[in-house]
Chains A and B, each alone.
Chain A
């Protein structure tokens, strides 16, 4: 089966943590970020998440630049609506809400994710779909980028010529996607994969000592953030 270097997480502490713990923490962090209102508390949480993201995930500079521009526009619009303090609070809150998902995605290998999804008894078709989306989204995105660059080489700037989107971008992309789907199906069938059959697991999910330390650290940070927000 085709694989992607993007599908492999950067080795580090977070990639060794129990994926179920990371999924649970991801939801907890998003809920926590929504409940915060004080600038200092949100800044601490967003700062820690940003540091973890930079240390644990390979980030494309183009994506980072685009995110920074969107964030600046968001701050400018929020400042116009109210004031700079509220705008900063909202921007940091947005960072704290948005980062947990890519942090989870960037530090979890597809195999770990599948094990976690199987452990929470999601329907088998859902596990297979999520695994394929997780693994092939970056590849298809790369294909789309290649098609856009091929258009540039032929003098077609798709950003300025939306009339060419269907014939110049989407039709070739659809052909690539359908070809990938057929290849993956053949790959899975030749390996005897059956989505309805019960599956064995050579590396079942286990709770390790590092998971306990990580959970304790996360609770400690959330307690500190909560103290700044509601007590201090």
Chain B
């Protein structure tokens, strides 16, 4: 089968995936529980931006994220499915906008990816919390958790947290573009961006 990708593209995409995974290890110990994804977003977005800038063609995000999705499938096939769906949606949107050569398209892809990841994570939390609350014996504790979930479950809160994740993705995009400039100055990014 003929493919537009070259060996260097596959290797670069795999190393950007490694960068995204390393960001999890770096952020994990410092981020408060429940905010890991928000803390991870700007750092992971740096590698996603670098990958898009170097690979440029539609399908770049799929090359970077799908291996990660397969690896995380060892923890839960749900993660694989959800990441695969997110990638398909983003690639479909970017198919109409053009390649990742334009900065604005890289920004849109980052914002879309992290906002949708955060929203899906919150919806999964809300879904599974119903079962957890029903198993809590102490009514006071059940009430406390119910209030937290009710707070998250409000459309306003969901929208606010999703916007925050999108902003985190945008911050990561900005840092990623700074990194691209540094790499270009050092002669390590020989592509026109």
Contact = CB atoms under 8 A, between A and B. Distances in A.
Contact of A159 (B5, B12, B30, B145): B30
B17 to A, nearest CB: 6
B88 interface: no
A59 interface: no
B3 interface: yes
Which of B26, B137, B188 gathers the greatest number of chain A CB atoms within 10 Å? B26
Nearest to A178: B188
A232 to B, nearest CB: 23
B137 A195 contact: no
Contact of B1 (A126, A180, A189, A196): A196
Nearest to B135: A82
Interface in A138-168: 140-141, 144, 159, 162, 165-166
Contacts of B66: 126, 129
Given A133-B67, A171-B182, A189-B7, A26 B17 contact: no
B21 interface: yes
B47 to A, nearest CB: 8
A126 B21 contact: no
Given A82-B135, A83-B137, A125 B46 contact: no
A207 interface: no
Contact of B186 (A86, A130, A175, A184): A175
Interface string B26-59: 1001100000000000010011001000000000
B75 A174 contact: no
B74 A194 contact: no
Contacts of A166: 175, 178
**Size category, A interface:** 35 or more
Contacts of A177: 15-16, 18-19
B19 A125 contact: no
A185 interface: yes
Given A83-B137, A170-B175, A126 B67 contact: yes
A27 B75 CA distance: 9
Contacts of B74: 26-27, 30, 100-101, 104
Contacts of A196: 1-3
A55 interface: no
A97 B77 CA distance: 13
B170 interface: no
B17 A81 contact: no
Contacts of A39: none
Contacts of A181: 8, 11-12, 14-15
Contact of B145 (A66, A81, A129): A81
Contacts of B22: 137, 140-141, 144, 173
Interface in B54-91: 63, 66-67, 70-71, 74-76
B179 interface: yes
Interface in B109-164: 132, 135-138, 141, 145
21 contacts: A27-B74, A30-B74, A81-B136, A81-B145, A82-B137, A86-B135, A126-B66, A128-B10, A128-B14, A130-B71, A132-B14, A136-B15, A166-B175, A170-B46, A173-B22, A174-B19, A174-B46, A178-B188, A182-B8, A194-B7, A195-B10
The 10 A-B pairs of least Cβ separation, nearest first, read A129-B67, A132-B14, A181-B15, A101-B74, A129-B14, A185-B8, A185-B11, A181-B12, A178-B188, A125-B10
Interface of A: 26-27, 30, 66, 80-83, 86, 97-98, 100-101, 104, 122, 125-126, 128-130, 132-133, 136-137, 140-141, 144, 159, 162, 165-166, 169-171, 173-175, 177-182, 184-185, 188-189, 193-196
